[in-house]
Amino acid sequence: MNVETIETPSLGDRSYLVHDGEVALVVDPQRDLDRVLSAADDAMVAITHVAETHLHNDYVSGGLALSRRTGATYLHAAAEVLPFDHRGVGDGDVIEVGSLTVRVVATPGHTQHHLSYHVTENGDGKGAGAGAGAGAGAGALFTGGSLLYGSVGRTDLVAADLTDTLTRLQYRSVRGMIDSLPGDTRFYPTHGFGSFCSSSQGGDDSDGTLAGERSVNLALTIEDEDTFVERLVSGLPDHPAYYAQMSPMNRAGGIPIDLSPAAPVDPTELLRRIHRGEWVVDLRNRRAYATDHLVGTIGIELDDPFATYLGWLIPWGTAVTLVADTAEELAEAQRQLARIGIDRPAGGADGGPDVWGEGHDRASYPVITFDQLAEHQAERGGVVLDVRRDDEWADGHLVGAVHIAIHQLLKHLEEVPDDHLLVHCASGFRASIAASLLSRAGKDVTLIDDEYDRVAELDLATEP
């Protein structure tokens, strides 16, 4: 058996191509199918089955489109009421995929009808010489948003009144898998690599086997179910607002995406869009943006968290135009946005601000590090604005700082001090977005582009 991992670090997710050298099962595919099809071509296998572990809350699935394109059987929980063609499966069902046997395991918790898939070789020899460490006896377990490395999937994304019930189901599901399958079974979660679908960002101590999880996993090291529920629910951070759009899209089945280049936008049209209040998003490096940008644009650096934070902050349905240095950057941003259901940007422009910004008013603001904070405040005064999440703020913050989490900023602009603002987060990425939004709103800002961990090194005054 071979397990090929298709990573999507921008969302903290993984999809999997599982094959025997001839035919393959794909688990939890993203919408940009070219990556999956390329992996199948490289392995010289035919995709005959596509399996969903659950209706995803953090991305739009490519499962239906992939099944239609390849003719593969589409596996989904039989308990879900879905309007498209699929094969409904449930606990204990067995599906043959070439020389591989796929057994369905009901693992409710992350969602009500969550499934995991235990894949083993049937012993006829086709799967010999397996890669990725999936043993012939123990097999490979695909756990979606149930069992994660060192943690479990969060249980509050379906409905508030179901959170307690789902958390208890999550606890029992994980323990059930651990008790019923061989300890050397390797497991492959979909979430847990930075995804907000994870209940915590554990996993560094996981060896990727069920036995290894016994000493490191939250659901296995807490012996009392009530204690687990209290611990899990109390530690859940806020999740991106666009999650509310994902499950309905996936329940409808999703549609194939169009990744052809967005319509080009000239400087005159760009200015009209800015004046109309549309989102014109500059993808350049945050320091380049701070040094020189078009008035009225929003700076969201094209990095792994790009789509997460644009999708979290933008009023859903607002037209977005992308501007960048290169066409390749525009294409990558468009791909990331399509994964969360923002299918077609209203337009795009490359070549840098000297090309698409010709004739526009330009602006800049200072960028400093925590080393320079005291000197900068002595010269210019101002208030430190911490835009980290509530849980990060509660763990410790600079004395005298004001706190408004970045995802609350646009709703609470009237609460932002009318003063010079020195904006920081944990790394500089979120702070750079916040600084651009505040500058767009007419505020006087300085970006602190630095790691918050350095505050302790520099002995800056903090409080709980």
Q: Domain with 381 in it: what CATH number?
A: 3.40.250.10
Same-domain pairing of 226 and 318: no
**CA–CA distance from 183 to each of 151, 152, 177, 213, 214 (Å)?**
17, 18, 10, 9, 9
**Residues 6 or more apart from 213 whose CB is under 8 A from it?**
147, 149, 150, 178, 187, 206, 220
The conformational region for residue 44 under phi > 0 = left, psi -120 to 50 = alpha, else beta, is left
Same-domain pairing of 207 and 327: no
Cβ–Cβ < 8 Å for 11, 193: no
Q: Is residue 419 part of a domain?
A: yes
Same-domain pairing of 47 and 169: yes
**CA–CA distance from 82 to each of 29, 75, 146 (Å)?**
18, 12, 21
**What gap in Å lies between CA 106 and CA 237, rounded to an integer?**
26
Same-domain pairing of 108 and 222: yes
Parent domain of 451: 367-463
Q: Is residue 275 part of a domain?
A: yes
pLDDT of residue 41: 98
Same-domain pairing of 352 and 408: no
**What gap in Å lies between CA 245 and CA 126, rounded to an integer?**
42
Strand ranges (E), 122-212? 140-144, 147-148, 151-152, 186-189
Same-domain pairing of 153 and 52: yes
Looking at the 3D structure of the chain, how many domains does it have? 3
pLDDT of residue 203: 59
Q: Which helix (H) or strand (E) holds 252?
A: helix 243-252
Q: Is residue 260 part of a domain?
A: no
Return phi, psi of residue 209, to 5°. Answer: -115, 160
What pLDDT tens digit does each residue of the chain (464 aa) get? 999 999 999 999 999 999 999 999 999 999 999 999 999 999 999 999 999 999 999 999 999 999 999 999 999 999 999 999 999 999 999 999 999 999 999 999 999 999 999 999 986 433 333 333 444 479 999 999 999 999 999 999 999 999 999 999 999 999 999 999 999 999 999 999 999 999 876 656 899 999 999 999 999 999 999 999 999 999 899 999 999 999 999 999 978 899 999 999 999 999 999 999 999 999 999 999 999 999 999 999 999 999 999 999 999 999 999 999 999 999 999 999 999 999 999 999 999 999 999 999 999 999 999 999 999 999 999 999 999 999 999 999 999 999 999 999 999 999 999 999 999 999 999 999 999 999 999 999 999 999 999 999 999 999 99
pTM of the model: 0.94
Q: Which helix (H) or strand (E) holds 218?
A: helix 218-221
Q: Is residue 257 part of a domain?
A: no
**What gap in Å lies between CA 280 and CA 348, rounded to an integer?**
9
Same-domain pairing of 374 and 444: yes
- Domain end, chosen from 324, 343, 363, is at 363
Same-domain pairing of 195 and 300: no
pLDDT of residue 131: 37
pLDDT of residue 136: 47
Same-domain pairing of 71 and 195: yes
- Domain end, chosen from 340, 363, 386, is at 363
Cβ–Cβ < 8 Å for 289, 302: no
**What gap in Å lies between CA 1 and CA 97, rounded to an integer?**
11
- DSSP-derived 3-state class of residue 302: coil
What is the domain-level CATH number for residue 239? 3.60.15.10
Token representation of residue 336: 């990331």
* Residue count (the chain): 464
- Within its chain, how far is the Cα of 314 from the centroid? 16
Cβ–Cβ contacts within 10 Å for residue 242, how many?
Answer: 21
Same-domain pairing of 125 and 30: yes
Same-domain pairing of 394 and 341: no
